Chain A
Amino acid sequence: MKTIILKTASRYLLPLLLLFSVFILLRGHYLPGGGFVGGLVAAISFVLHAFANGLSNTRLLLKYHPRILIPIGLGLSLLSGFVPMLFGEPFMKGLWFPEPLPVIGMVGSALFFDIGVYFVVIGVTLTILFTISETTQLEE
């Protein structure tokens, strides 16, 4: 699907969709949204880029294999669940800073958990899609 229209559009859509995915991630605690949906939107933005410019170009754009995001995300989520245990609270108890930060809003351990989910979702989705399309390309 190498059309000039999609190619041009994807150049602008990629950063826009990534920004949108972060927006969804951040509003997720009290409103519809969250790490999972945000991660999917971010992954889709790369998929769109791959559709328009070919998988190898997306690879170049990413520099690292998206697989590396999985352990990072898992580790972040795990640590965010682990922190309350240091304060003698049960595993995964939400701890919050008292004052909201500008733009981001309330910051707490649940946010970091969500960011971890965001990374894992991007990593898993892209790994799956890359793997499937790789095996297809090998045949052709």
Chain B
Amino acid sequence: MEVILAILIGVLYAAGIYMMVRRSLVKLLIGLILLGNGANMLIFLLGRITKGSPPVIPEDARVFAEVYADPIPQALILTAIVISFGLQAFAIILLKQVYIVNASDDLDDLNPIEEEI
């Protein structure tokens, strides 16, 4: 399981970076999303995988009886997902705006370095 996840994370990071260095704006966004998912999976993997024992105490007990899954990585991932959800929503609107203003999806067409404001 760990090995599969490790490979998956590697693939996600690689694909994300590959997409980010393409010229298209949409691919830039997809790259960022893939990278974010890779990072979330990495937290999940490094928080140790414990199968089938959720960190919920049964009603008739007060403490955990046996080994339980660490809830912190899940909290972290949830936070990270929420944040990336907001950021990606903003990024989509921004890209859309760029497309409307620029009429192009190509990053090379953005060239404000020489253009004056």
Contacts and interface: CB of A to CB of B under 8 A. Distances in A.
- Interface size on A, as a range, is under 10
Given A128-B89, A132-B92, A135-B93, A36 B56 contact: no
A8 interface: no
B79 to A, nearest CB: 10
B56 A132 contact: no
Contacts of A135: 93, 96
A36 B82 contact: yes
A135 B96 CA distance: 9
The A contact surface, by secondary structure, is helix
A14 to B, nearest CB: 23
The B contact surface, by secondary structure, is helix
B78 A131 contact: no
A32 B56 contact: yes
A31 B56 contact: yes
B78 A36 contact: yes
Interface in B37-78: 56, 78
Contacts of A131: 93
Interface in A25-54: 31-32, 36
B86 A124 contact: yes
Given A31-B56, A32-B56, A132 B93 contact: yes
Contacts of A36: 78, 82
Contacts of B93: 131-132, 135
10 contacts: A32-B56, A36-B78, A36-B82, A124-B86, A128-B89, A131-B93, A132-B89, A132-B93, A135-B93, A135-B96
